[in-house]
Amino acid sequence: MEGKLRNMTSIYILDDNDRMLLLYRMGSKVISDSYTGTAGGHFENDELNDAYSCVMRELKEETHLTAEDITEPKLRYITLKNKNGEIRQNYYFFAKLLNNKKKIASNEGTLQWFSEEETKDLKMPFTAKYVVKHYISTGKNTDKLYGGIAVESGVNFTELLDF
């Protein structure tokens, strides 16, 4: 392990029926031919200590949505995974779309709304799949922040307390 880090954010936009707007991402260097959050990506150098700025930049770049289009995004999950000699840190935000009739497109792939049940069988990046599963079963009913460590059998989540 050389101590390399990869910092990434994702935002999951929901509608009034708790459907998730997911992106089928194609042609990415890291994630391709898989469903991800509505928008997301890597931190710029000036964002390394500000996941919110990163996710809002990515949301605007990829979908043209801004803070005025959604409820205040909440950081709900932070995951760690050791892959290909680097530690991948992912910061997952969730927000609701304020105008459910708004047309949304992405320059990174195809956006599509999914019910909670439909998300179960989608191909997703490893930690994202477990974040979505945990959010549906537990996270959507709380305001807690969860940390997750990826292990071969899944992701072990724990509440991140402020102390």
| Domain range list for the chain | 4-159
Would the pLDDT of 28 be above 70?
Answer: no
Give me the residue label for tokens 């050389």: 2
Q: Can you give the pTM of this predicted structure?
A: 0.94
Residues 6+ apart with CB under 8 A from 30: 6, 8
- The reply to whether CATH 3.90.79.10 applies to domain 4-159 is yes
For residue 126, what are its two tokens? 């490893």
pLDDT tens for each residue of 70-110: 999 999 999 999 998 899 999 999 999 998 888 999 988 99
Half-sphere exposure of 13 (CA within 13 A, CB side): 27
Alpha-carbon gap, residue 124 to 91, rounded angstroms: 16
Q: Tell me the pLDDT band of 30, cut-offs 50, 70 and 90.
A: low
